[in-house]
């Protein structure tokens, strides 16, 4: 069973590595966001060391969108009928789905190493132990987002609908979080959803790990991210089993 889990994870990791152009564009996008947009805004806002704040936040947003890419993979696989092949293999279904969620998370973490290194280069690390603890939170976010992607694509069973919904979620989940701006600067109707947004907790935990200004309790953020990961993976398993196995794809 562990062998199969590792094989599913390995397959998903290798898949993303093969999208070299996608990765290079992501890294360039991150680099330009921080060096041009982040730097320019840091001169306009009153938040102290906003460039650092922004660089850490935008790294979490990059991690989120890379983790979500597993949903596009599954959608494309389904359109090519490839899901039938995966479902016919001598792999336990739960192992298959957990493997995909973990694989989606691991690969997004690996694929964002260059932006992470760049972030560490401009911000630095004050305490390695704290940074490692914060990184666990980022990994939990990746697994949870991959689980969310699997849940969405399994529920919708449509490549087009998945594209549209993921675009909409992407717009809201990033903006209604502390990725770009602290809660103190948000109107209440922004800060309330931001408080329960896993991206907020990941961003704050990461900033705490880097030793820059952060809001909230890191332990609580870690618990929220753990709960998010468990909830999304469980939902993903349930929906994948119920919906994908039921056949049909639009």
Partner 1 sequence: MTNGDVAIKIVGLTKYYGKFLAVDHIDLEVYDREIFGFLGPNGAGKSTTLLMLTTVLKPSDGTAYVYGYDIRKDPDRVRSLIGIAFQDPKLFWIHTPYEILIWHAKVCGYRGAEARAVVKDVLSMLNMWEARNKRAFELSGGMRKRVEIAKVFIQKPRVAIFDEPTAQIDVTGKHMIWDMIRELRDEGSTIILATNELYEADVLSDRVGIIYRGRIVAVGTPKELKDTIPGGDILEIQVEGGLSNGLVSRLEGYDEVSKVELVDSTVKLYLNRVEELLPKILEDLIKHGIRVKSVNMREPTLDDVFMHYTGARLKEEG
- Residues near partner 1 (CB under 8 A) are 3-4, 7, 11, 14-15, 18-19, 77, 80-82, 84-85, 87-93, 245-248
Residues contacting 79, CB < 8 A, separation 6+:
159, 249
Would you say 20 or 43 has its CB closer to partner 1?
Answer: 20
Would you say 183 or 243 has its CB closer to partner 1?
Answer: 243
Tell the smallest beta-carbon distance from residue 22 to partner 1 (Å): 11
Tell the smallest beta-carbon distance from residue 84 to partner 1 (Å): 5
Q: Which two tokens stand for residue 146?
A: 């991959």
CB of 100 within 8 A of CB of 244?
no
Which residue, chain included where needed, has tokens 């806002």?
45
Q: Which two tokens stand for residue 26?
A: 């992501």
Tell the smallest beta-carbon distance from residue 82 to partner 1 (Å): 5
Query: What secondary structure letter does DSSP report for 161?
Result: H
For residue 183, CA distances in Å to 3, 63, 179 come to: 44, 21, 10
Tell the smallest beta-carbon distance from residue 29 to partner 1 (Å): 22
Tell the smallest beta-carbon distance from residue 105 to partner 1 (Å): 20
Would you say 3 or 167 has its CB closer to partner 1?
Answer: 3
Would you give the end-to-end CA distance of the chain in angstroms? 32
Tell the smallest beta-carbon distance from residue 25 to partner 1 (Å): 17
Burial class (CB in 10 A: 0-12, 13-18, 19+), 27: middle
SS3 for 248? coil
Tell the smallest beta-carbon distance from residue 67 to partner 1 (Å): 19
Query: Residue 51 and residue 98: Cα distance in Å, rounded?
Result: 36
Would you say 93 or 175 has its CB closer to partner 1?
Answer: 93
Q: What element of type H or E holds 107? A: helix 93-111
Would you say 79 or 163 has its CB closer to partner 1?
Answer: 79
Q: Which two tokens stand for residue 148?
A: 């969310």
Q: Which two tokens stand for residue 238?
A: 């349930």
Query: Residue 179 and residue 56: Cα distance in Å, rounded?
Result: 8
């Amino acid at each position: 069973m562990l062998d199969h889990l590792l094989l599913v994870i390995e397959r998903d990791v290798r898949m993303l590595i093969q999208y070299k152009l996608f990765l290079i564009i992501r890294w360039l996008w991150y680099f330009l966001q921080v060096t041009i947009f982040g730097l320019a805004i840091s001169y306009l806002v009153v938040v102290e060391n906003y460039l650092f704040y922004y660089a850490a936040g935008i790294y979490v947003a990059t991690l989120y969108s890379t983790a979500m890419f597993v949903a596009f993979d599954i959608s494309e696989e389904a359109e090519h009928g490839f899901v039938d092949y995966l479902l016919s293999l001598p792999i336990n279904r739960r192992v298959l789905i957990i493997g995909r969620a973990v694989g989606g998370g691991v690969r997004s973490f690996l694929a964002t190493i260059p932006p992470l290194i760049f972030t560490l280069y401009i911000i630095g690390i004050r305490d390695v132990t704290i940074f490692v603890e914060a990184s666990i939170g980022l990994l939990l976010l990746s697994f949870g987002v991959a689980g969310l992607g699997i849940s969405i694509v399994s529920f919708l069973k449509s490549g087009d609908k998945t594209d549209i919904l993921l675009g909409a979620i992407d717009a809201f989940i990033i903006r209604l979080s502390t990725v770009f701006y602290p809660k103190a600067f948000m109107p209440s109707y922004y800060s309330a959803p931001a408080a329960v947004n896993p991206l907020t907790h990941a961003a704050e935990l990461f900033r705490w790990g880097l030793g820059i200004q952060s809001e909230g309790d890191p332990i609580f953020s870690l618990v929220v991210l753990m709960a998010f990961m468990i909830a999304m993976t469980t939902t993903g398993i349930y929906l994948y089993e119920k919906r994908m196995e039921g056949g049909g794809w639009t």
